[in-house]
């Protein structure tokens, strides 16, 4: 399986260090050596651990960006303007990243329609500088659109903290207002003011189809288990932040219609 070159940042890189180049890796952020990392029941090239439909063939990696190559950089937008990719910065041992500060309520998005069934984002989040506890959130959308009132519509997986109570939530947003469809408690340091958290947020992953989850980075002692923002004019993949600084290290999306992307 080879990804369309225009939808992969660095096809010759190896983000997860498992010896499979990004351009050929069905799980480019998951080490194939981990348990179940090579199982592929439907033989479609996407291992079960990442496949949105592990027993139905036809899924593929439709999007992958580890920001190691400038190919996708101009497609990442905020309010219609490209966002700068940071490289050669020792903060993450010179691993490239997309930096995004959402002091209030902001959205960045990929300026291209892509048919995605599942997404996963590797993110380091620094909760705001406000000395008092407040509301902080990160939301992943695959279908963010303008509502009739010009606000946000779509479904998202969210990691949220309010007054130090952490939650992982499946949210539906209509006209900028969110309704919680499902929620799971997270540790009390979820997006805590003044703390830094490295985690992976997954939406519609194989482990929980059509659901949302956030998982902890065991190497980060501060990590956790894991409204009128400006939104793109048509349905796209988007990351929405509230009261956080985000360092986006990698984004991967799986779909069933790669030829059209």
Distance CA 256, CA 62 (A): 8
Whether the Cβ atoms of residue 28 and residue 13 lie closer than 8 Å to each other: no
Distance CA 160, CA 129 (A): 16
Distance CA 220, CA 78 (A): 29
More confident residue, 3 or 100: 100
| pTM across the whole model | 0.82
CA-CA-CA-CA torsion for 54, 27, 183, 141, nearest 10 degrees? -100
Most confident of 152-156, 176-180, 191-195, 224-228: 152-156
Distance CA 50, CA 102 (A): 29
Distance CA 161, CA 136 (A): 5
Confidence class for position 21, pLDDT limits 50, 70, 90 = very high
Tokens, residue 176: 């900028």
Distance CA 169, CA 81 (A): 29
More confident residue, 169 or 235: 169
Nearest to 156 by CA among 167, 165, 148: 167
Strand partners for 178: 173
Domains and CATH numbers, the chain: 5-260 (2.60.120)
Average pLDDT, whole number, for the chain? 76
């Amino acid at each position: 399986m080879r990804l369309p070159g225009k939808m992969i940042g660095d096809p010759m890189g190896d983000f997860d260090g498992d010896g499979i180049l990004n351009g050929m890796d069905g799980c480019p952020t998951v080490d194939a050596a981990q348990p179940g990392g090579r199982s592929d029941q439907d033989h479609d090239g996407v291992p079960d651990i990442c496949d949105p439909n592990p027993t139905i063939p036809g899924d593929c990696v439709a999007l992958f960006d580890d920001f190691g190559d400038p190919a996708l950089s101009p497609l990442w937008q905020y309010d219609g303007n490209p966002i700068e990719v940071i490289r050669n910065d020792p903060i993450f041992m010179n691993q490239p990243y997309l930096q995004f500060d959402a002091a209030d309520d902001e959205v960045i998005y990929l300026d291209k329609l892509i048919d995605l069934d599942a997404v996963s984002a590797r993110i380091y989040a620094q909760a705001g500088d406000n000395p008092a506890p407040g509301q902080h959130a990160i939301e992943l959308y695959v279908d963010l659109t303008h509502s009739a009132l010009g606000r946000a519509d779509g479904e998202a997986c969210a990691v949220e903290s309010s007054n130090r109570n952490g939650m992982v939530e499946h949210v539906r947003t209509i006209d900028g207002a969110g309704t919680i469809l499902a929620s799971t408690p997270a540790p009390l340091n979820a997006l805590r003011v003044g703390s830094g958290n490295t985690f992976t947020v997954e939406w519609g992953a194989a482990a929980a189809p059509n659901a949302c989850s956030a998982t902890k980075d065991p190497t980060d002692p501060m990590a956790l288990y894991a409204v009128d923002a400006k939104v793109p004019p048509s349905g796209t993949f988007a990351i929405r932040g509230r009261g956080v600084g985000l360092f986006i290290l990698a984004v991967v999306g799986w779909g069933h219609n790669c030829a059209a992307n």
